[in-house]
Amino acid sequence: MKPAANIYLIGLMGVGKTTIGKQLARALQWPFYDSDRVIEECTGVDIPTIFSYEGEEGFRMREQTVIHHLSALQGIVMATGGGAVLMPENRTALKENGFVVYLHCSIDKILHRTKHDTQRPLLRTDNPRQRLQTLLAQRDPLYTECADFKIDSGVLPTKTVVKTILQQYQAALEDHDRIASCTK
């Protein structure tokens, strides 16, 4: 992690990146950005409409552009979409510019949280459990590669998750300062 004052949230759909991200930003009094919301604001349509016109490939290109721009900002909390880590450029941008938090929870919990969802095209399948299992198998190594810190967002109260992330972020900043103050 650079000394950059940014916190980025990664992890599978439904783990709570958007929810926790908003609370972190409120606690820090920093601006909050959600890459999905920025894409929707730019295009004027929702994520399922982008997928239907441009496919996942078109969505990924838009997501990469947004993450590229947002990662140039300082002092922000950003919730990414669950598939943001698929693009190597995004992984580099996240790792280089902020403290990356990998939120995870059980597939059962994700299914419960997203059972009435209409905004996640990748879950519009006959077998969302199977889809989530496949996505997790593909993406877990990428989330792990990017992450400075991993926390279960399915068991602990949201408030505790937020507090723990803030403590870890602070500790990482202090480590960074300690190393930087000691000449090689």
Ligand X SMILES: Nc1ncnc2c1ncn2[C@@H]1O[C@H](COP(=O)(O)OP(=O)(O)O)[C@@H](O)[C@H]1O
Ligand Y SMILES: O=C(O)C1=C[C@@H](OP(=O)(O)O)[C@@H](O)[C@H](O)C1
Going by the annotation, the residues of the binding site for ATP are 14-19, 120
CA distances from 51 to 9, 13, 113 (A): 22, 16, 22
163 contributes a contact to ligand X by CB under 6 A:
no
83 contributes a contact to ligand X by CB under 6 A:
no
The token pair at 128 is 């969302």
3-state secondary structure (DSSP) of residue 125: coil
Phi, psi of 70 (to 5 degrees): -70, -30
- Applying CB under 6 A, which of residues 33, 36, 78, 147 lies at the interface with ligand Y? 36
The distance of closest approach from Cβ of residue 184 to ligand Y in the complex, given in angstroms and rounded to an integer, is 40
The distance of closest approach from Cβ of residue 3 to ligand X in the complex, given in angstroms and rounded to an integer, is 27
3-state secondary structure (DSSP) of residue 71: coil
43 contributes a contact to Mg ion by CB under 5 A:
no
Measured from the Cβ of residue 44, the count of other Cβ atoms closer than 10 Å reads: 7
Q: Which of 122/156 has CB closer to ligand Y?
A: 122
Per the CB < 8 A criterion, the answer to whether 147 and 101 are in contact is yes
Which residues 23-82 are close enough to bind ligand X by CB under 6 A? 79
Return the range that interacts with ligand Y (CB under 6 A); candidates 12-20, 68-76, 103-111, 167-175: 12-20
65 contributes a contact to Mg ion by CB under 5 A:
no
128 contributes a contact to ligand Y by CB under 6 A:
no
Which residues 67-126 are close enough to bind Mg ion by CB under 5 A? none
- Applying CB under 6 A, which of residues 13, 24, 94, 147 lies at the interface with ligand Y? 13
- Applying CB under 6 A, which of residues 69, 121, 136, 148 lies at the interface with ligand Y? 121
18 contributes a contact to Mg ion by CB under 5 A:
yes
CA distances from 119 to 14, 49, 50, 70, 151 (A): 11, 9, 11, 22, 25
Where do the H-state alpha helices sit in the chain? 17-28, 35-43, 47-70, 88-97, 107-113, 128-146, 158-180
* Binding footprint of Mg ion on the chain (CB under 5 A): 17-18
